Structure 1
Amino acid sequence: MLKFILRRIMMMIPQLLILSILVFALAKAMPGDALTGQLAQSPKMDANTLMEMREKLGLNDPVHIQYVRWVKNLLHGDLGLSYIHQQPVTDLLSGRLANTLLLSACVLLLTYLIAIPLGLVSGRWQDSWADKLIVGYSYVSFATPLFIFALVMLFVFGFKLGWFPTGGSVDIQVEKGTLDYYINKFYHLLLPALSGALIGTVGIIQYLRSEIIDTKVKDFVKTARAKGIPESKIYSHHILRNSFLPIAAFLGYEITGLIGGSIFLESIYSYPGLGQLFLQSIMQRDYSVVTALVMISGLATLIGTLLSDIILSAVDPRIRIE
Structure 2
Amino acid sequence: MIPQLFLLSVLVFLLAKAMPGDALTGQLVQNPQMDAQTLNELRQKLGLTDPLYVQYASWIQRLLHGDLGLSYVHQQPVNDLLAGRMGNTIVLSACILVLTYLIAVPLGIASGRWTDSGADKLIVGYSYVSLATPLFIFAIVMLFVFGFALGWFPTGGSVDIQVEQGTFAYYIDKINHLVLPSLSGALISTAGLILYLRNEIIETKIKDFVKTARAKGVPESRIYSRHIVRNSFLPIAAFLGYEITGLIGGSIFLESIFSYPGMGQLFLQSITQRDYSVVTALVMISGLATLMGTLLSDIILSAVDPRIRME
Same fold at TM > 0.5: yes
| Residue in 2 that maps onto 1:313 | 302
1:40 corresponds in structure 2 to 29
**Paired AA for residue 123 in structure 2:** I
8 Å CA contact 1:120–1:209 kept in 2: the answer is: yes
Output the CA distance in 2 between the equivalents of 1:237 and 1:30.
Answer: 56
Alignment of 1:100-111 (within 5 A): 100-111=89-100
Q: One-letter code of the match for 2:160? A: D
Q: Deviations over 1:232-290 (max 9, x none)?
A: 11111110111011111111010011011000000000000000000000000000000
State whether structure 2 residue 303 is matched by structure 1 residue 303: no
Say yes or no: does 1:13 pair with 2:11. no
Root mean square deviation of aligned Cα: 0.8
The one-letter amino acid of 1:245's match is L
Cα distance per residue 1:64-111 (max 9 Å; x no partner):
000000011011111000000000000000000000000000000000
Shift of the 62–15 alpha-carbon distance from structure 1 to 2, 3 Å rule, reads same
2:82 maps to 1:82: no
Query: Offset at 1:316?
Result: 1.1
Q: Does 1:213 align with 2:228?
A: no
What is residue 261 of structure 1 aligned with on the other side?
250
CA distance in 2, matches of 1:232, 1:317: 25
Q: CA deviation at 1:321?
A: 7.2
2:143 and 2:182 map into 1 onto residues whose CA distance is: 12
**Partner residue, 2:264:** 275
Tell me what 2:149 maps to. 160
Name which of 87, 94, 110 aligns with 1:98: 87
Counting only pairs closer than 5 Å after superposition, residues 120-135 of structure 1 correspond to structure 2 as: 120-135=109-124
TM-score (norm 2): 0.99
Equivalent residues of 1:313, 1:321 under 8 A apart: no
Matched, 1:169 2:161: no
CA distance in 2, matches of 1:40, 1:33: 12
Partner of 1:4: none
Shift in Å, 1:216: 0.3
1:234 partner amino acid: I
SS at match of 1:43: coil
Residue in structure 2 matched with residue 5 of structure 1 by the alignment: none
In the alignment, which of 56, 65, 75 is matched to residue 45 of structure 2? Answer: 56
> Take 1:319 and 1:77, find their aligned partners in 2: how far apart are those partners?
36
Question: Which residue pairs with 2:139 in the alignment?
Answer: 150
In the alignment, structure 1 segments of 5+ residues that lack a partner are 1-11
Asked if the contact 1:263–1:276 (Cα under 8 Å) also holds between the matched residues in 2, the reply is: yes
Q: Match for 2:309: what amino acid? A: R
Identity %: 80
Please give the alpha-carbon distance, in whole angstroms, between the structure 1 residues aligned to 2:290 and 2:181. Answer: 22
**Gaps in structure 2 of 5+ consecutive residues:** none
Amino acid at match of 1:320: R
Q: Distance in 2 between matches of 1:188 and 1:70?
A: 37
